[in-house]
Structure 1
Amino acid sequence: MVVAGKQRDVSTTVRFGHGHSPGLSCRLLMKDWYYPVCSPEFITRHRLASPEQLLGLPLLRSNDELWQPWFSAAGVAIEEPQRGAVFDDSSLMLMATASGQGVALARHTLAVDDLASGRLLRPFALSVESPLSYFFVCRPADEQQAAVVALREWLFEKASSYCAPDGVLAPA
C-alpha cells in the first residue's frame, strides 16, 4: 500500500481460534459447527441408525475437534475416545473418511463441499457449535486503512451468507 509516496505495510489475517490475540484487533468473522460424516458406502455397510453405534466403529479424529462434546449432546455418556486414527490435517482426514476408512467429526466449513457433492454424508442431524471461530485480525493502527477496511468489509459480506448446518444444538 502506498501512502503519500511511502509504502506502508499492512498485515491482516483470518485466524481460527478463541479470538485471543493480545495487542491486535480481533473481530468475530463467523462461527463454525461440527458433526459426524462418513462415506455413503460406510453408512450402508454399517447400517448406521443411532449415535451409540459409533462407539464400536473406527472414529477418525483431529486434535482440534473432540468427539466427547458431540457424544454428550447426542445423549451418549463417554470420555473422549482414544482409539482410531488421529490427523493433523483435516483435509486428509476428510479424504480418508470419503474412502470409507471410518467416521470423522468434521467442521462444517471444511465438510460442506463434500456434503454438497454427495462424497460425504451426515449419518445424524445433530450439530454442535465449535468452541473455536474464525476471526479477522489486524494491527489496531491499521484498522482504518483503506485496504484493510475494504478487505474486512468484503470478508464480512461473504461470511454473512454462510449458513449454520441443520440440527444445531447448544454451544460446546
Structure 2
Amino acid sequence: MPRSIPPLQALRALEAAARRRSFSRAAEELHLTHSAVSHHLRALEADLGVELFKRVGSRMIPTAAGAQLADRVRRNLDDLRDALDATRPGMNGVTRLEVSVMSDLASMWLIPRLGDFYERYPEVDLSLHMHAAVSAPDPYPFDVGIWHRRVDEPGFQIRKLLDDQVVAVCSPALLARYPDFELKELASMPLLRFSRRGWRDFFEAAGVDGSEPLRGPIFDDAGLMLQATVAGQGVATARLQLARDLIERGELVQLGQVRIPASFEYFFTWRDGHPREDAIMQFYRWIKTQLGK
C-alpha cells in the first residue's frame, strides 16, 4: 500500500508557520484560525512521530526536522505553482518571479529599464512588490528580494549589488536663482531632508559652514524626494545611482564634485535551492550589467 500524504492544508500550515515563526501569523496568511493551524500541526506531528516546533519566548521555532520538512514542502509548493502556471492559457514556458524591491530603486532605476529586460528575457515575468523599510521583511515570501540589509538567517543566497555614493542635486531652475553659486553657500539654499540621511556628513565633506537644518520638508522615500527636487522645491542629497538618469537628462544638476559613501547598500537575495534559480540568475546578471553601464 502506498504511504498516505498528509492533507495539503496541514503542509501549507507547516510551511507558513516555519517561515513566519508564529502560528498566529501563519493563520492570518492562510485565512485560518489560530486553533486550526495548531490542530493541523499537532495532527502532522502525531502522524510523523516527531516534534516539529518548539516555543522560544513568543515565537514558535521549527525543530531541525520541522525546518527540513518545511523547506522541502516550500520547494514542492513552488513546483506546483509553476505547473499550474504552465497549464494556464498563455503561460506555457513563462516563469514568474515575485520580486520585493526597495521602492526608491524601483521607481527611479529599475522600472524605467524593465523594457530592456523583457526584450532580452521574454520567458520571465516579474511581479514587483514595493518595500520601504530598511530591514528585509520577515518573513520572506518572495522569490527575489532587493533590500538594504542582509537576511540574517541561514538558507539564503545573498549578493551585494553595488557601493553607491551620495551627491547634492537641485533643478537647473533653482540653481539659476543663485548666480555665481559656490558650494560653500549650500546651507543658504532651501534644503530637502531625508528621514534616513541628514546633511551633516555632506556639509563636513564639502567644507560647508552649516548645521543640520531644522526646517524643510522631510521625506521617507528617496524617489519622492527626487521628484520634489526636479520640481524645484529644494536641494537634496541623493544616491548617485538613483539620480544619474535625471542628471544625464538635464532635469537635475549635481552641485560640486563632492561625493560621500551611501549609508546603506543594496543586496540581491533568494533562497538556497530555489526551483526557479535559472530565471533568478538571469535577472541578477541583467541587473549587474545595467549597473555597469
TM-score scaled by length of structure 2: 0.47
- Contact 1:70 1:128 (8 Å CA) reproduced: yes
In 2, the alpha carbon distance for the partners of 1:124 and 1:71 equals 12
Which residue identity is paired with 1:44?
A
In the TM superposition, residue 36 of structure 1 has moved relative to its aligned partner by 1.0
**Runs of at least 5 residues in structure 2 that lack an aligned partner in the other structure:** 1-74, 83-141
Q: How far apart are residue 102 of structure 1 and its match? A: 1.3
Contact 2:192 2:225 in 1 (8 A): yes
Distance 1:66 1:154, change over 3 A: same
Secondary structure of 1:142's counterpart equals coil
> In the alignment, what sits opposite 2:150?
20
Residue 260 of structure 2 corresponds to 128
Report the AA paired with residue 159 of structure 2.
R
Aligned counterpart for 1:87 among listed residues 219, 222, 235: 219
2:123 is the alignment partner of 1:50? no
Structure holding more helix per residue: 2
| C-alpha spacing 1:159/1:141, structure 2 compared with 1 (3 Å) | same
Cα distance in structure 2, aligned partners of 1:32 and 1:114:
16
How far 1:146 sits from its partner (Å)? 2.3
Residues 90-116 of structure 1 deviation map (CA, whole Å, 9 limit, x = unaligned): 233222222222111111122112111
Counterpart residue number, 1:167: none
Are the structure 2 counterparts of residues 89 and 145 from structure 1 closer, same or farther at C-alpha, using a change threshold of 3 Å?
Answer: closer
- The corresponding residue for 1:67 is 199
In 2, distance between residues paired with 1:40 and 1:145?
Answer: 44
More strand by share: 1
TM-aligned CA deviation for residue 133 of structure 1: 1.5
Corresponding residue SS for 2:177: helix
Offset, 1:22 = 0.9
Write out the 4+ residue segments of structure 1 that deviate beyond 6 Å after TM superposition: none
Q: Counterparts of 2:281 and 2:225 in 1: how far apart (Å)?
A: 35
User: Shift of the alpha carbon at 1:69?
Assistant: 1.4
The separation in 2 between residues aligned to 1:86 and 1:33, in whole angstroms, is 20
2:290 to 137, 147, 158: 158
The one of 57, 64, 80 equivalent to 1:7 is 80
Label 1:156 to 1:99 Cα distance change in 2 as closer, same or farther (>3 A): closer
Once residues 83 and 109 of structure 1 are traced to their aligned partners in structure 2, the CA distance between those partners, rounded to angstroms, is 27
Distance 1:143 1:43, change over 3 A: farther
Q: Would the aligned equivalents of 1:49 and 1:123 in 2 still touch at CA under 8 Å?
A: no
Task: Letter of the 1:20 partner, please give it.
Answer: R
- Matched positions, count: 157
1:145 equivalent among 264, 274, 277: 277
Corresponding letter in the other structure for 1:149: M
